[in-house]
Amino acid sequence: MGKAVQKLAMAGVAAVASTALGGVMYRHMRYKRIKPKELKHFPDLQPNNEREIHLTAHRGLSAVYPENTALAFEAAGKAGFYALECDTHCTTDGTWVVLHDGQIKTMFDGTGDVKTYSYEEMLQKKMTNGANIDKYPEARICTLQEYIDICKKYGCRPMIEVKDKRMEKMQSLYDLLVQNDILESCIIISFHISVLRALYAMDKNLEMWYLIEYISDKKLCEAKECGNAGIAFCAQYNSPRPEAIQKIHDNGLTAACWTVDSKELLEKMMNCGVKYITTNSILPE
């Protein structure tokens, strides 16, 4: 059999196999199943220094609960985290909801961008991914308002990552912060400097952190444009670069990092003077 014929035959077999898998199963095969992580306790990992440290729960206690859900935020609040981090997008009816990816198929039974759904439509979507998801069939999408209520309930700082970069939506987000009286307690974070600039124009006292993967002079300059600003960087990518982390402090910016789940990385960040550390699995004292 010639190579061209062989390839054609193999493609046909693959097509039949994928059809046999069924639409739902095939859809979820394209995304990594989120597995639970082992929980650790900060006192057991703490390096031999007295540096002050503030731990943030990444998407709630996402190591053992479905991420970005009320379940995960409640558990993190009870555990005593300094802050709870979430990701937010705005729906067609103006409701700010909490999920990491705009494409809902990563976490829910469905397809398309969350921006094309109303909140009520998203509420009907079954959550199909997340740590221990099989134990929580009641898990559903969480609104930003529900998340804020949980932060207030447990005295945790809201750390809100703005994923939605539509400028016309920023006023409604700011209004929600005002309505909940959290302008002084919240931290707004985003990969989109345009989002931070827009919110800074509305309120120059908001604490905002610019999310970056690698620390650079350009990113430091952009962050400084937003007043009461900080840099939140990927700890794993920057752990061999203590001099770059020092530049953040030298520029008068807050230094924060994500996502730290090991003693080794925790120690490196603390030794570099990073006080704000986001984690999936390290519990506070």
Instruction: Tokens 């439509």: give the residue.
Output: 121
* Residues composing the chain: 285
Q: What single-letter DSSP state applies at residue 54?
A: E
Q: Among the residues of 33-132, which ranges form H helices?
A: 42-45, 70-79, 119-123
Domain boundaries, the chain: 1-30, 37-283
Q: What single-letter DSSP state applies at residue 93?
A: T
What percent of the chain clears pLDDT 70, i.e. is strictly above it? 88
The mean pLDDT value for 273-282 works out to 97
- Between CA 55 and CA 283 the distance in angstroms is 8
The mean pLDDT value for 245-264 works out to 97
The pLDDT tens digits for 127-168 are 999 999 999 999 999 999 999 999 999 999 999 999 999 999
Residue 44: helix, strand or coil by DSSP?
A: helix
The pLDDT tens digits for 81-98 are 999 999 999 999 999 999
User: b vs e for 192-214, b when ≥16 Cβ sit within 10 Å of the residue's Cβ?
Assistant: bbebbebbbeeeeebbbbbbbee
Residues 55, 279 contacting (CB under 8 angstroms): yes
Share the mean pLDDT of the chain: 90
Strands 83-90 and 96-98: antiparallel
The mean pLDDT value for 97-116 works out to 97
CATH topology of domain 37-283: TIM Barrel (3.20.20)
pLDDT reading at 194 higher than 60: yes
